[in-house]
Amino acid sequence: MEEDYFVALEEKDLKDGTMKFVSVEGEPILLIKQAGKIFAIDNRCPHMGCGFSGGTLDGMCLICPCHDWCFNLETGEYKEEPSMKLKKYDWKIKDGTIWIKLDE
Ligand code: FES
């Protein structure tokens, strides 16, 4: 529903090949644009909670700064342990702004 979406960032402020940390309704969210695709994920690593915003991008791999685990942006999976997954958020673009859908 429309009211589940919250403003996150102007679309023009998310350049390709970069990531931006935003706090949406108190939720730590990392926005990533890679190869023209946008991803919105929980900034906390599912391993031990480190902030991905201090990490790096290597193609479709998001590398956690704490233990260098590589998470695939498209599948969300850590390749050595696929049950360990990124939490992804739905998003939409409206009037040049990226909106994030929060669970509740
Ligand atoms: S906390 Fe991210 S890999 Fe360990």
Q: Is 75 left (phi over 0), alpha (psi -120 to 50) or beta?
A: alpha
Total-model pTM: 0.94
Answer whether 32's CB lies under 8 Å from 9's CB.
no
**Ligand 1 site, residue 48, Cβ cutoff 6 A:** yes
Identity of residue 54: G
Please write the tens of the pLDDT for every residue from 48-94.
999 999 999 999 999 999 999 999 999 999 989 999 999 999 999 99
To test the ligand 1 pocket, which listed residue (47, 53, 71) has its Cβ within 8 A of the most ligand atoms?
47
Please write the tens of the pLDDT for every residue from 4-44.
999 999 999 999 999 999 999 999 999 999 999 999 999 99
Q: In the chain, what are the helix, strand and coil shares in percent, each to the nearest 5?
A: 10, 55, 40
